[in-house]
Amino acid sequence: MDITAPGQAPATDDQELAKVLESMNNSLTTAPAGPVAAPDEPADTTPADDGVMTNDELAVPAELPVPEPVAMPEPAPAPVVEPATPVALDSDLEAIKKDALTELRPLVDKLNLSPEDKFDTLLLIIRSTDDKSLVSQAHEAAKAIEDDSRRAEALLDVIKEIDYFAHPQA
């Protein structure tokens, strides 16, 4: 194979070969970045746009601009929702309820009710009137309930009523 640099005679000895290789190395290290032309092709002198940024393009400005603060709008206040107020019983209805409870109290023992219904009635009267004298009758009615689960619930209600009377609310 005959290695010839353009415009030179064929290299025949080692010294000449070393010179040719040195000139080729020098041309490679000083050549601009970009595609290298093949020996028989003319070199492309247009700048390469290979997507690689040069050091000058990578230079970071000494001070980055500080963005202006953005004023956030104040959120609209949540609408005020009034809590549902229970409808107050008409004073006439409240008076009727009070009279009915007063009339029912002495008749509870005369009612032909199951122990469970008797307990429920006594508990209703106790809670409506805060009459703690009926707790012992409610306890007796609770003990007479045959269903163990329902009897347990009734006894728990008796305990709750006793606790209520023992620790009056402020």
> Would 158 be classed as within a structural domain?
yes
Dig out the tokens for 157 from the structure.
């209600």
**Cβ atoms 125, 104 nearer than 8 A:** yes
Q: Tell me, what amino acid is at 84?
A: A
> Would 66 be classed as within a structural domain?
no
Dig out the tokens for 110 from the structure.
């005369």
Query: Which residues fall within 8 angstroms of residue 8, CB to CB, at 6 or more apart?
Result: 20
Is residue 16's pLDDT more than 60? Answer: yes
| Domain count for the chain | 1
pLDDT in tens, 114-168: 999 999 999 999 999 988 999 999 999 999 999 999 999 999 999 999 999 898 7
pTM recorded for the entire structure: 0.46
**Cβ atoms 122, 149 nearer than 8 A:** no
Q: Tell me, what amino acid is at 1?
A: M
CA dist., res. 128 & res. 114, Å (int):
21
CA dist., res. 165 & res. 154, Å (int):
17
Which residues span the domain enclosing 136?
A: 93-166
> Would 68 be classed as within a structural domain?
no
> Would 145 be classed as within a structural domain?
yes
